[in-house]
Amino acid sequence: MNIKKLTAVVLMATGVAAGSQAHAHRAWMLPSATVLSGDTAWVTVDGAVSNSLFYFEHHPLGLEQLEITDPQGEPVEAENKASGKYRSVFDAELISDGTYTFEIRNSGLFGVFKLNDKNVRWRGTVDEMDEIPTEAEDLRVFEVDRLMQVFVTKGAPTTETFKTEGVGLEMVPVTHPNDLFAGETSEFRFLVDGQPAADLDVVLIRGGIRYRDQVDEIQLQTDAEGRVFVEWKEPGMYWLEAELEQSGKLLDNAKRRMSYSATLEVLPL
């Protein structure tokens, strides 16, 4: 498959396939706790894609790209992984004191096409694009980089796992994400490919939207240094998301869609 032939359809695919999916449903992880103590501790994490935050009614979250990092930067194995009709779940044992990072990153090329009158989905890299049959029709391909994170602390909080890779859209917690309290203001910094993400729209939604009339989104925008300041008015579990669309890096004249999301717990004072 010729790369140049793909670029003509990338714009449409980004707007239709990536855009409609992103706004129709929200993908999230929900930990059983974000702050723990004791000699040993366990956390159970649910994952799903749904219309209502933290409510299981659409699709389980894929865990193939799940990575857990302990306070020393070492990998932790997820245990008891399972996936049902509407949600996925896994456990993690927290042995060392400090802050753990749970993340799922999905990046690469995504495509859809028709083959023998059947709709086919494709995922891969530029080097793997020859896998797409030459007889494929209505081919649509787009670039995607999505990062989802959750932070859990056992004992005293640490910051060693907050290192960024300099790729895609990332968040640097200036205020520790397990030290958020209603009535206080927190600071977060966003980067795109390692540089400050200025004028980036950031949305925060408190859980429980199924049980209230309004979504009550908190809409913020980063400053020139990529910073946002959040004044927490109510405790609860919050879903944070930022999205960014730029010119493609892999395909000529393409669009690249990036997103970052995290689940944060805000505690009462």
- pLDDT by 10s per residue, the chain, length 269: 444 444 434 433 333 333 333 345 899 999 999 999 988 899 999 999 998 899 999 999 999 999 999 999 999 999 999 999 999 999 999 999 999 999 999 988 887 889 888 998 888 887 888 888 888 888 877 889 999 999 999 999 999 999 899 999 999 999 999 999 999 999 999 999 999 999 999 999 999 998 998 899 999 999 999 999 999 999 999 999 999 988 878 777 677 889 999 999 999 98
Single-letter amino acid, residue 238: Y
**Considering the entire predicted model, what is its pTM?**
0.85
**Between the CA of residue 156 and those of 25, 95, 153, 226, 234, what are the distances in Å?**
35, 13, 7, 27, 24
Q: What are phi and psi of 136, to 5 degrees?
A: -60, 140
Quick: pLDDT tens for 110-141: 878 898 889 988 888 878 888 888 888 888 77
Best CA proximity match to 48, nearest among 40, 33, 58: 58
Domain of 249, in residue numbers: 3-266
Total domain count for the chain?
A: 1
